[in-house]
Structure 1
Amino acid sequence: MSAKPATDDAKDELLSPFRRLYALTRTPYPALANAALLASTPVLSPSFKVPPTQSPALSIPMSRVFSKSSTARIGITTKTALFFSTMQAIGAYMIYDNDLENGAGFIATWSALYLIVGGKKSFSALRYGRTWPLVLSSVSLANAVLYGQRFLATGFQ
């Protein structure tokens, strides 16, 4: 009989960091941390243009023919960073104002949208030795999952 509670205690110890993170979604702190990281991006890791590789004229993809810019960027632009930072701060304020359900849904949605906008760029930045975009994507993924779980657990009542 004593072996069973020890196993349950070990399982609780293993799950306790996830429970602690989930418990933090009752507060605006994870969203504020993400907003602060995004707002500091233009200073800590500004985006830069990557010179295009020379390719034959006939092998240019159609998406690059009709795009405004022919050079790719590594990292997110200042406007994008400040926009998503503002959205995270608005969601944090919603939770601070005791609207947990809508604030959690708002933060989860904008975190997922950030992953759509900057997720692929974060992995391509590793090729150039830039890890900051991957940090931003990881924190946004954590916010999307944790606040999304909080939003879905409310039951839409």
Structure 2
Amino acid sequence: MLSVPDFQAIAHNFSNASSTPYPAWALGGLLLGRGLTIQKPMTPISGTSGSSFKFSQTLATARPTKASCFTFGAAHLLGGWIIYDGDELNGAGFNFAWSTLYLIVNGRAGIKSIFAGRINPLAFSLLALGNAGIYGKRFFWP
């Protein structure tokens, strides 16, 4: 039998997640892992039709870029460490700010990636949106 979800329990778990570094570490670790696995673009070879080269260039220039993955990944790992070290309020503000910056830089590309058939950029944008919500609630309404 299906039961009605207990919204107070969900809100309580949502509030408790902001006092742990795990959401920030999850996003930071996934971004660093993505940054390590991004392929370099193909070098042009003379005598080819060029379509594979153009395809490689579009994949390599897709968001999030390698620099973006490393920058935002390291920032989220640092924000998680700030919370782990005991400064929950400032760590929440740090993670909220970097999650919001990630959405400003890569959010539109995450939505457009649906039409290109890629789900990684959308998943990262949704994780950043979740982190912004979790840590923003803690920072603005402690």
Pick the TM interval, shorter chain: 0.7 to 0.9
2:123 to 110, 117, 135: 135
RMSD: 2.6
Distance 1:125 1:45, change over 3 A: farther
Give the CA deviation at 1:47. 8.5
Matched with 1:100 is 88
User: 5 Å matches for 1:1-157?
Assistant: 13-43=6-36, 73-154=61-142
Q: Distance in 1 between matches of 2:40 and 2:134?
A: 28
Largest Rg, 1 or 2: 1
TM-score by length of 2: 0.78
TM-score by length of 1: 0.71
Mapped contact 2:36–2:66 kept (Cα < 8 A): no
Q: Give ranges in structure 1 of 5+ residues lacking alignment.
A: 1-9, 52-71
Provide the secondary structure at the position in 1 that maps to 2:20: coil
Q: Percent of pairs identical after alignment?
A: 33
One-letter identity of the residue aligned with 1:107: N
For structure 1, which segment, 88-97 or 72-81, has the greater mean C-alpha deviation from structure 2 after superposition?
A: 72-81
Give the CA deviation at 1:46. 5.3
Provide the secondary structure at the position in 2 that maps to 1:103: helix
Q: Give ranges in structure 2 of 5+ residues lacking alignment.
A: 42-52, 55-59
Mapped contact 1:47–1:77 kept (Cα < 8 A): no
Structure 1 runs, 4 residues or longer, greater than 6 Å off: none
Matched with 2:50 is none
C-alpha distance after superposition, 1:4-63 (max 9, x if no partner): xxxxxx57x134233212211111111000101111113556587x95xxxxxxxxxxxx
One-letter identity of the residue aligned with 2:105: V
Give the CA deviation at 1:140. 0.4
Give the aligned length: 126
One-letter identity of the residue aligned with 2:30: L
